[in-house]
């Protein structure tokens, strides 16, 4: 961590703690609009590892040439996932996000072939069925953000045989959401619409905003909360 990141860490932890406590979607989007100009610096101070870990998981399972693949980054924010995708050869990336200010920030970076406003859970994704070779959503599956009921929409726009990569936090305050999410994922697998390829727990997800959020005490987990990555393949026959 740089000296600058260390100096801003208390402010960042307070901001992220506030974010985790917002359960109303409209309030959450306004929060992200206000956060957009400083988001990248703040998550760097937070040692946020989810974009890199999720893209690593996706790229290991991907079949075929990444250069030819069309990828959708859902809740793309400022483009942290797109940076990781491009580093691994995925160059045809589209993004959607519900925050106008996040989209404003990411447009200036030129990371995506196409960007669209979309508040998933309130409206469908703006793409036809079976468009993408892979769909990835990192950091947005929690209370007050993307609801579990929107998961089938991710599947809808994925090609048969394509991949869907999802993440969520597993710290104490997010456990009720995680349980609902896993029930949704399991229900879709039992229905035969996709198969689970990876369930990858991660101890060091991002720095905790409080000792209670580690679930074990700060020292027991080096001050980090945990998270989890799920990777599914849509059935060819769907």
For the segment 71-95, what is each residue's pLDDT rounded down to a tens digit? Answer: 999 999 999 999 999 999 999 999 9
For residue 215, pLDDT over 70 is answered with: no
Query: So what's the pLDDT on residue 166?
Result: 98
Q: Span 199-225, mean pLDDT? A: 80
For residue 153, pLDDT over 90 is answered with: yes
The range of the structural domain enclosing residue 214 comes to: 3-234
Q: Span 164-191, mean pLDDT? A: 97
Q: Which ranges of 36-164 would DSSP assign to H, the alpha helix? A: 39-45, 50-61, 80-87, 100-107, 151-156
Average pLDDT, the chain: 92
Residue 156, Cβ density class (10 Å: 0-12 exposed, 13-18 middle, ≥19 buried): middle
Query: So what's the pLDDT on residue 221?
Result: 65
Domain count, the chain: 1
For residue 217, pLDDT over 50 is answered with: no
Query: So what's the pLDDT on residue 5?
Result: 55
Residue 72 belongs to domain with CATH number: 3.40.50.150
Q: Judge whether 44 and 81 are in contact, CB under 8 Å.
A: no
For the segment 17-64, what is each residue's pLDDT rounded down to a tens digit? Answer: 888 889 898 999 999 999 999 999 999 999 999 999 999 999 999 999
Q: Which ranges of the chain would DSSP assign to H, the alpha helix? A: 3-21, 25-35, 39-45, 50-61, 80-87, 100-107, 151-156, 175-190
- pTM given for the model: 0.94
Q: How far apart are CA 129 and CA 237, in angstroms?
A: 14
DSSP assigned state of 120: B
Q: How far apart are CA 197 and CA 230, in angstroms?
A: 8
For the segment 101-137, what is each residue's pLDDT rounded down to a tens digit? Answer: 999 999 999 999 999 999 999 999 999 999 999 999 9
């Amino acid at each position: 961590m740089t000296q600058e990141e260390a100096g801003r860490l208390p402010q960042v932890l307070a901001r992220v703690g506030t974010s985790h406590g917002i359960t109303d979607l409209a309030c959450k989007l306004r929060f992200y609009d206000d956060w957009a100009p400083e988001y990248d610096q703040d998550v760097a101070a937070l040692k946020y590892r989810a974009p890199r870990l999720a893209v690593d998981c996706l790229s290991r399972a991907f079949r075929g040439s990444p250069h030819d693949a069309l990828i959708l980054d859902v809740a793309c924010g400022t483009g942290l996932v797109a940076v990781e995708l491009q580093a691994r050869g995925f160059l045809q990336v589209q993004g959607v996000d519900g925050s106008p200010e996040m989209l404003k920030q990411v447009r200036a970076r030129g990371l995506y072939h196409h960007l669209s406003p979309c508040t998933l859970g309130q409206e469908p994704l703006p793409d036809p069925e079976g468009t993408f070779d892979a769909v990835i959503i990192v950091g947005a599956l929690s209370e007050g953000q993307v609801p579990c009921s929107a998961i089938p929409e991710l599947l809808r726009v994925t090609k048969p045989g394509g991949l869907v990569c999802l993440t969520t936090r597993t710290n104490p305050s997010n456990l009720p959401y995680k349980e609902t999410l896993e029930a949704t994922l399991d229900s879709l697998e039992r229905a035969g619409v996709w198969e689970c390829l990876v369930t990858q727990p991660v101890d060091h997800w991002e720095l905790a905003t409080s000792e209670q959020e580690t679930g074990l005490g700060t020292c027991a987990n080096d001050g980090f909360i945990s998270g989890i990555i799920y990777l599914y393949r849509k059935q060819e026959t769907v």
